[in-house]
Structure 1
């Protein structure tokens, strides 16, 4: 069953205020309502803010201890029109303010959607310790703010040694922007970390598992699977 976001929103509100009534209505069989595990996916989450997560950077700094070197991983993540019910405040929150159930019902009745539009993708950054197993999400953006995040990490004495990303065209273009840092390199694979206390090199590393997966998919789709890469008969 795929539930309309408005139904999820209404079910969360109903269960929050009348838990017994919601359980009774669902078990009666008179009306189909989302199951508890479905609603839990919208309530079990960690609060976060758009942009740089300073709380997580502080936590990262504590967990790293004396092993301050990290690798910064970043990838584009597709997002949906998601929202979460926050028990502490009773609010439904997401990437934007989603409004009330009544306004959603009004939009459905009139056929006019007056709600703001969501971004379809975000750029997620995760820090992983080189000398430790520490791994935390430190930021997410709807645009690339790579060096802004680097400056925040370096100011907290967290040393970014390398950056890992897949072979997307946007990532390749971003790396090529730093060709002037080391003009003698035949292939641009590093840049000067100007935000370090003593300027040092930050290396750009390709996401090897992603490259292997892409190679596998290309081969698989050329031979009898979905044939998406097989030349046409014409």
Structure 2
């Protein structure tokens, strides 16, 4: 989270608060003032646990710093808290990807042995909503934005123009719209590009079906890709026991069996499509490396898709095999962390950019709130726990309060 660079003298300890966590290893004092705060958060796969276990003022966290911080957190969770660490989720920042690569010999590392429980493994994956946004960004740059990218597969181009044509056709229909596309979906700004719902509505099955129906032969590959991405995101965004039934989408049902057909779709159909696409581009003749790199997704996106798909499939199977009744894959995303940062900004009211001192004060306040929330089971607003409430309740009506009246006289 981005914070305000500022120094505060803390009278109780005599320290100056606002420097980065490893200030002694850097140069001048001006270079040691923190600009960001790194937060590690633990989330329960089959519980309501959401708790920040550590925060660090930083400026630019390296992969080696993350390595030491991560395994120290795992050590505390495994040894002192008796919690089993199954997976680690992060975005596709370069330091995060380098940190994951430190755990293996090749560039597609997605799991490693748990040092504090060698019979188990820890899986590494990228945040699914971030992946969806990067896929949309790759497609939005194809054939537009000065041709920074020109996606190609099976002899056909995957173009952003095909999505724009769906939006224009929808705007001509004044009675009802077939999709949820609006101006913000098509004309991306620095704000709209960060909205996950806009990316999900662009890469949706309804958009893919309309492109397939009205886009002609040239747009068939774009339609196929969009429909595959829609299923991929649904499989990684299962967040409720009944959402799949309510929306009549089997891909949103909770995972309860290791033989779930969605595992085959993710590992064979989706990843098979992505790998075949990469092989076609790499083997295309008559183009140099710079030109072929524009015909495929960015390497960071491709790597994130591969390691995330493998990690989610194996982690979900492991949990089911070891006694978990159902798995909601939305638990593997970073939404609780984003919510945690939102609470920090809300606590600051108009000052939504706290300093290190203010961030630390707010962090302890939020931890206390989460600690109290973990003690109270969310059983509804009409039940009471015998341990928390021993007051006898009856239905005797209360006496009416005497109302004070004001009498005025007029002469």
* TM-score (normalised: structure 2): 0.27
* TM-score (normalised: structure 1): 0.44
Q: Return the index of the structure with the highest Cα Rg.
A: 2
Which structure dedicates a bigger proportion of its chain to strand?
1
